[in-house]
Amino acid sequence: MTRDVVDAQKAAAPATTPDLWDKHVGRKMRFGEQWLLGGRRATYGFAVVRILFGVTALGFLAANWLNRHYLWGDAGRWLELIDDNGGFSWPFTMFSGGSSQVELDLKLGLMAVVLVLFVLGWRTRIIAPILLVLWASLIESQPIYGDQSDNIFRIMLFYMCFADLSGRWSLDARRRAKQAAGEWHSPFRLPIWPELRENVTKVATLLHNLALLAVATQVCIIYVASAMYKIQGDLWQDGTGIYYPLQIGMYAPWPALSDLLTSNALGVMLATYFSVFIQLFFPLMLLRRTTRVLALLGVTAMHAGIGVFMGLPFFSLFIMAADAVFIRDTTYEGFQRWLRMKRDERKRHVIPDSSQETESGPVNDAHVASDATGDEAREVVGAASGTNSRPNDD
């Protein structure tokens, strides 16, 4: 039997179990292992979530500042009979039982400081758990005030405690870059064996990516569950689901705007069905890039409408912030490069314009300066305009 015949028989023979395992199951397992341990995913997305969560929470405190003593202070003790702190015990009891005016102001001031540090991305491994305790304590101490946005914030923030929230656009990222460049050394850096440090980094990467999966899964569950509840109602089936909530004064902060939407039967029907279908098929639309873009634009438009038409800005901003993890890091990087390019273009246009104060000598000198490069151009332009021009530190 010739070699060609043997090779042909081998090729025609059915694949063995190890071959099938390695081709299908093994390859997928290696991909999953690489995805979980090969690097931290959605670092820009988590940075956007961190910033939007912090800014929205600060807006929540500012919106309720004038009523703070009636909500969380001693003036709100008339709710004591039904106040069980949401079933939470220590350490989520910082605001439980009411507080005096000075004490409450100090507590809310502390919370505002923590939120600012959270937005700036300073030591988020420590700040995020502290913020979780403070936020849960604040919300659960008031039994009749709050909505589902509080639950979304609390659940997402719990997952985010295991993620690297300050990998991008943060003070922590700036500090790490300086450490890597040897420009700054922490006085509290402990001597750790390289092998142990490497293993700790791998564990941190694994927890970060698992937290990402948890956040993404939670968002999908919220959307699909919401759509499933909607389609069980007759009003959502006949296309009038959004009409009746907008007739309630509490959910119609802009009556004229609400009337403009509800006066058009076709618009009501399209908005009703759109909100159902975009939520129901959201997880499936994430599987391909084109449909993922449409899904993200769709849910963003839906929540923007909820925030404006129904007067629920905090709910809308919290869930819209969580959607940011579905945008790829390459998209954020491309947008960042575009912004830098626009900034550099503006700087190049501003430099020659600053020298055109007169119509004679300075204009001609500015043309000479445009042929120079770098710092020489700035010096010539500054001399022509009579100002002390300095190169930017950037």
Q: What string of H, E and C letters represents the secondary structure of 263-275?
A: CCHHHHHHHHHHH
Q: Give the confidence band of 126 by pLDDT, cuts at 50, 70, 90.
A: very high
- Averaged pLDDT for residues 369-391: 40
Q: Residue 37 domain-assigned?
A: yes
Tell me whether residue 288 is in a domain.
no
- Confidence band for 2, pLDDT divided at 50, 70 and 90: low
Instruction: Indicate the range of 25-39, 178-192, 289-303 predicted with least confidence.
Output: 178-192
Q: What percent of the chain has pLDDT over 70?
A: 82
Report the range of poorest mean pLDDT among 51-65, 173-187, 296-310: 173-187
Domain of residue 46, residue span? 31-174+198-232
Q: Is 67 a member of any domain? A: yes
Dihedral of the alpha carbons of 374, 351, 341, 392, in degrees to the nearest 10: 60
Model confidence pLDDT, tens digit, residues 42-65: 999 999 999 999 999 999 999 999
Tell me whether residue 329 is in a domain: no
**Rounded (10°) angle between helices 43-63 and 329-353:** 70
The count of residues in the chain is 394
Residue 160 lies in a domain: yes
User: Cα(13)–Cα(5) distance, rounded to whole angstroms?
Assistant: 12
Residue 214 has pLDDT above 90, yes or no: yes
Give the pLDDT mean for 146-175.
Answer: 91
**301 burial via Cβ count (<10 Å: 0-12, 13-18, 19+):** middle
pLDDT score at 192: 74
Whole-number average pLDDT of the chain: 83
**pLDDT tens string 253-280:** 888 888 888 899 999 999 999 999 999 9
Q: How many CB atoms lie within 10 A of CB 20?
A: 12
Helix axes 101-120, 43-63, angle to 10 degrees: 160
Give CA–CA dist 43/169, Å, rounded.
Answer: 10
Cα(60)–Cα(75) distance, integer angstroms: 20
| Residue at 312 is within a domain | no
- With CA atoms as reference, report the closest residue to 168 among 132, 120, 214: 120
| Nearest to 163, CA basis, from 185, 184, 191, 132 | 132
Question: Does residue 384 lie in a domain region?
Answer: no
Q: Confidence band (pLDDT; 50, 70, 90) for 85?
A: confident
What is the number of domains present in the chain?
1
Question: What is residue 348's predicted lDDT score, i.e. its pLDDT?
Answer: 85
Three-state SS at 148: helix
Is position 192 within any domain?
Answer: no
For residue 118, pLDDT beyond 50 = yes
**C-alpha to C-alpha distance for 99 and 75, rounded to whole angstroms:** 9
Looking at the predicted structure, is the pLDDT value of residue 77 above 80? no
- Record the pTM: 0.80
Query: Helices marked H in the chain — which ranges?
Result: 3-12, 17-20, 27-37, 43-63, 68-72, 101-120, 124-140, 148-160, 171-180, 194-231, 234-237, 255-262, 265-280, 282-285, 289-309, 313-322, 329-353, 361-371, 374-385
